[in-house]
Amino acid sequence: MSRPVRFRVVESEDDTLLSHLVARRLPGVSQGDAKALVRGGAVYVGHLRVRLPTLRVKTGERVTVYPEALRKEELAPELVHIVHRDPEFVVLDKPPGVPVAQTRDSARGTLAEALRRRLEQEGVLRPYVGVVHRLDQGASGLVLLTVRSVVNASMHRLFVEHRIERRYRVRVVGDPPAELRCDAPLIELSHGRVRVARGGEPRARTATTLLRRLEPVQRDVDGCPAALLDVVLETGRTHQIRVHAQTLGFPVLGDRKYGESTPPTEGEHEREHEDDEGPSRLYLHADRLRFAHPRTGEPIELRAPLPDWARAGDDG
């Protein structure tokens, strides 16, 4: 995450437009850049992210700006692949390397922001996009986003109550048996990583992952064994597939965060964030979603096109 610039509005700046204030306070930032920072979600007034450049600030207000957000490229419109569209939610096929949701310092370059801009271009006034669940940045496949805030709770409940079936294709390192199951409970650490819980830890959350090998083990470019698996989640915890695969001894190919043999500890901090970023491809693809529409009860079953690495011999 980039380092922020923080300052308070002085009396002579009272009632100034937010974009004008940002341009005035940050050396080398033009009016156009200042507007882009505000619209891109890189400016806060107090604790509130403000995306309206014409907001007028008041004396004493604290302003936080993440200027490095200007270096982030907007996601090209052609990379927003709509698999299913509903008046209340949209399912997209996420490309690898693209984050789903905004971070603290910016919304630019994210799938949610690209969808918001697309709705805006279609004439939707102040479009809303809600992130119901996430997919790791290096992964690809199906992601569900709401476009009406009133359905957020009901869609989120489907995930919490495990009433959405999710299937994945993953390629793992090693030679696993035909079927595997992992029930190791997980703990989310304060810095965004996850580890398997030790006995009796109060923060432990149940997690179950079912894995089935789809074809004979192949060799990757380095000559190491790599297997293609079909994965079903009976629960949906952060990084569940990646941590369970590593726990079973078959880490996901391309996983720089959990692929190492040493499990994370509470003391690990910034390095883990850095290791999970960049162009590295994570061989994890969200293949299918199946659920009942939260309002109508209509069954919905969706599939994402498979990348070449995720195709088994019987996929045609």
Q: Indicate whether 307 belongs to any domain.
A: no
Please, is 270 exposed, middle or buried when counting C-beta atoms within 10 Å of its C-beta (0-12, 13-18, 19+)? exposed
pLDDT digits (tens, 9 = 90+) for 217-238: 877 656 678 899 999 998 888 8
| Residues 61 and 87 reside in one and the same domain | no
CA–CA dist 244, 184 (Å, integer): 7
CA distances from 294 to 82, 129, 227, 232, 235 (A): 20, 17, 36, 22, 19
| Residues 105 and 194 reside in one and the same domain | no
Instruction: Give residue 186's pLDDT.
Output: 92
Query: How much is the pTM?
Result: 0.81
Greatest mean pLDDT among 90-94, 205-209, 212-216 lies in: 90-94
Q: Indicate whether 277 belongs to any domain.
A: yes
Taking residues 120-135, report their average pLDDT.
Answer: 88
Instruction: Give residue 103's pLDDT.
Output: 80
| Residues 175 and 270 reside in one and the same domain | yes
| Residues 172 and 260 reside in one and the same domain | yes
Q: What DSSP element (H or E) covers 187?
A: strand 186-188
Taking residues 292-297, report their average pLDDT.
Answer: 88
The 8-class DSSP code of residue 309 comes to: G
Domain extent at residue 24: 5-71
Q: Indicate whether 123 belongs to any domain.
A: yes
Who wins on pLDDT, 276 or 245? 245
Contact 128, 149 (CB under 8 A): yes
Q: How many CB atoms lie within 10 A of CB 58?
A: 12
Q: Indicate whether 313 belongs to any domain.
A: no
Q: Is 153 helix (H, G, I), strand (E, B) or coil?
A: helix
| Residues 205 and 150 reside in one and the same domain | no
Q: Does 249 have pLDDT greater than 70?
A: yes
Q: Is 84 helix (H, G, I), strand (E, B) or coil?
A: strand
CA distances from 85 to 82, 91, 243, 301 (A): 7, 6, 32, 13
Q: For residue 4, what are the contacts with CB-CB under 8 A and spacing of at least 6?
A: 64, 65, 66, 105
Q: Indicate whether 288 belongs to any domain.
A: no
| Residues 204 and 270 reside in one and the same domain | yes
Q: Indicate whether 17 belongs to any domain.
A: yes
pLDDT digits (tens, 9 = 90+) for 141-160: 999 999 998 888 888 888 87
Q: Which residues pair with 291 in a beta bridge?
A: 300
Instruction: Give residue 268's pLDDT.
Output: 42
CA distances from 226 to 204, 222, 244 (A): 31, 10, 17
Q: Does 5 have pLDDT greater than 90?
A: yes
Q: Indicate whether 295 belongs to any domain.
A: no
How many domains, the chain?
A: 3
Q: What is the CATH number of the domain that holds 195?
A: 3.30.2350.10
Contact 89, 147 (CB under 8 A): yes
Lowest mean pLDDT among 59-68, 99-108, 176-185, 289-298: 99-108
